[in-house]
Structures are given as C-alpha cells and as structure tokens.
Amino acid sequence: MNIYKKLGVLSAAALVTVSSAVWAAPKFINILTGGTSGIYYPIGVALSQLYGNNIDGAKTSVQATKASVENLNLLQANRGELGFALGDSVAAAWKGDEEAGFKKPLDKIRLIAAIYPNYIQIVANKDAGIKSLADLKGKRVSVGAPKSGTELNARAIFAAAGITYDDLGAVEYLPYAESVELIKNRQLDATLQSSGLGMAAFRDLASTMPVNFVPIPADVVAKIGNAAFQPGVIPANTYDGQDTDVPTIAIQNMLVSHKDVPDDVAYQMAKLIFENLDYLSNAHAAAKAIKLENAVNPTIPLHPGAERYYKEVGAIK
C-alpha cells in the first residue's frame, strides 16, 4: 500500500473514531427543581430516573434551587436542561420583567410541558387568630424566598387585598421548610407558599399543631388581573384538621427547557412524562393532575422536539 493510500485509510479510520465519539457523547440533563421539602424536588428526582434509564447516553442530575425565577435564569444561561416554574413567572421571564427578577427577556427558554397546578396556600398557627387576609396585618409572615415565584405571588395577592408588607408585623423571606420550623417554634404566625396540594412541609405542620388555612376569595383573585391566576380550591381533608374546602388561587406549573437542548432529547423528555404518569404520581400525588390535554400552553414557544411529540399523539392538530 503506498503512502497516499495509507493516509487515506488512516483518515477514514480517524473520521469513524471522531464520529463514534460524537455519537457516544453523553447527554447531560440537569433538572432544576425547588426546595427539597416541596413538590418540584421529588417529581424532579422521578424524572431524572426516567430519563437516565430511557434516554440513550443520558447523564442526569437534580439540583435543588429557589425554584421558578432562579430556574428560568439558569436555563437562559444554559446551566440546566429542564426546570420547573410557575406560569406567571414564565410569562414575566419571556417579557423581561425586571421587578420579577428578569433583567432582560429570556428569549432562549422553550416549553416542554404544562403540568399540574400550584395552589397558593396560606397556613397560620391557629392561636394567632388569622382567619382572613385582613387578619395578617400586624402578624409575622413568611412570603417565600426573595423574588421567588412564590414571593411575586404574595405581592400580587396582598396588593389585591389592600395589604402591603408595611402592614405586617414582620416579613420573612423563607421557603417551605424554614417557614414551618419557625411557626412550630412560635417565631412566625403564618406563611404564604405556592405548591401542589399535600405538600410535605404543611402536612408535617398540620400534624404537629392546630393550624388555619386562610382563604383567598374569588373577588381578590379577580382584582389581581392576571390570566395565569385562576380560582382554585384546597379540598377538605387535604391536611390534618382542615375539614372544609378553602378557596384559593391555582397557577399552572410548567416544565421549561431552552433552545440549545437537542430536539431528540426534548422529544424524549415530553414523551417519557406522558407515558409514565403513574410513575410520576407515585413520586408525589400532585402529579395525578398532569394531563396531556393541558400540556400545550401559549405562554412561551414549544421546544421543536416537544412539539413533534404532541403532533404525533394528536395534542396539536
């Protein structure tokens, strides 16, 4: 074999080696969730297991975060492949609402699926005598992590009810678990949190001490004037001692990715969600509310990979 033929064979072999390396490159899927005592985290862990076991070459991880706002900013910076976020935060991110925590429009984010609704849940130590939003005045209240999706919800709800942070006795910016511990220790009177029903931290609190769940009336929901906020109900007996339905606000949760995630990966992300709803429901009962017919939402563009899946199953005509 002459030198040129040898070079040609070597070049071809090198090309095959490089192509194989590219083909075999791991697909990193970092899933951005929320606090470990919330609902995003256990469902995120379940998704990580699904993707790791069913997407060829996938290397998955789960990251606990401050949830919606942080997750969306991380996705824009390509520091995650899938993130949980509230629908109103997603809308604010796409628009670039600086007050909501987005210094510029997040133009890279793409929808994988709209999933279950979050419910605004205001829980108070029963001894604090808080039975209405007005009763929060002068009380020590936690409103979620600073500029989190939950805290943005708190601002909107209080404004619609004619309450400001200045009206409260003290304001703490804490997530679920920390807020619950302070209520148990009588260092906090109430907390407002956004979560799926049956959230572990609130189940723990309600089983430990008498609490009230504070209603958010429909007229307050209407005054907020945000289409992402819809009247909802915390059904009776969701928590120990809660023997009546509690009117509140429901906000759709979304699983969001970004445009640099390969189409085939985004396709598998969407497909595996809806082919494994029982598995996700075992991770947390809130996932029982995930429905294929609600998966497509116009708040932000669909990822092309997810769009292909929804067309295949007839969710998009």
Domain locations along the chain: 27-116+252-312, 119-251
Residue 24: is it exposed, middle or buried by C-beta count within 10 angstroms (0-12/13-18/19+)?
exposed
Q: What is the pLDDT of residue 77?
A: 98
What does each of the 317 residues of the chain score in pLDDT, given as a tens digit?
554 444 454 444 444 444 333 344 679 999 999 989 889 999 999 999 999 999 999 999 999 998 999 999 999 999 999 999 999 999 999 999 998 899 999 999 999 999 999 999 999 999 999 999 999 999 999 999 887 888 889 999 999 999 999 999 999 999 889 999 999 999 999 999 988 899 889 999 999 999 999 999 999 999 998 878 889 999 999 999 999 999 999 999 999 999 999 999 999 999 999 999 999 999 999 999 999 999 999 999 999 999 999 999 999 98
**Dist CA 36 CA 255 (whole Å):** 17
Report the amino acid identity of residue 67. Answer: A
Q: Do domains 27-116+252-312 and 119-251 have the same CATH topology?
A: yes
**Which amino acid would we find at residue 133?**
L
pLDDT of residue 146: 81
Q: What is the pLDDT of residue 132?
A: 98
Cα(251)–Cα(153) distance, integer angstroms: 10
Residue 121 CA, distance from chain mean position = 15
Given a contact cutoff of 8 angstroms between Cβ atoms, the answer to whether 94 and 298 are in contact is: no
- Is the distance from CB of 125 to CB of 213 less than 8 angstroms? no
DSSP three-state, residue 147: coil
3-state secondary structure of 288: helix
Among all chains, which residue has been given the structure tokens 């209080």?
Answer: 158
Tell the residue number behind the tokens 């678990």, with chain if given.
177
CATH numeric code, 27-116+252-312 = 3.40.190.10
Expressed in percent and rounded to 5, the helix, strand and coil fractions of the chain are: 45, 20, 35
Nearest to 178 by CA among 148, 156, 157, 155: 148
CA angle 38, 192, 277 (to 5 degrees): 35
Per CATH, the number for 119-251 is 3.40.190.10
Per-residue pLDDT, 14 = 45
pLDDT at 69: 93
Return the number of other C-beta atoms located less than 10 Å from residue 155's C-beta: 15
Q: How far is CA 169 from CA 20, 172, 188, in A?
A: 63, 10, 10
d(CA 111, CA 203): 31
Which pLDDT belongs to residue 2? Answer: 53
User: The whole model's pTM is what?
Assistant: 0.80
Question: DSSP character for 140?
Answer: E
| CA distance to 32, 119, 156, 226, 247, per residue, from 250 (Å) | 22, 5, 14, 12, 10
Model pLDDT, residue 11: 46
- Collapsing DSSP to helix, strand or coil, 113 comes out as strand
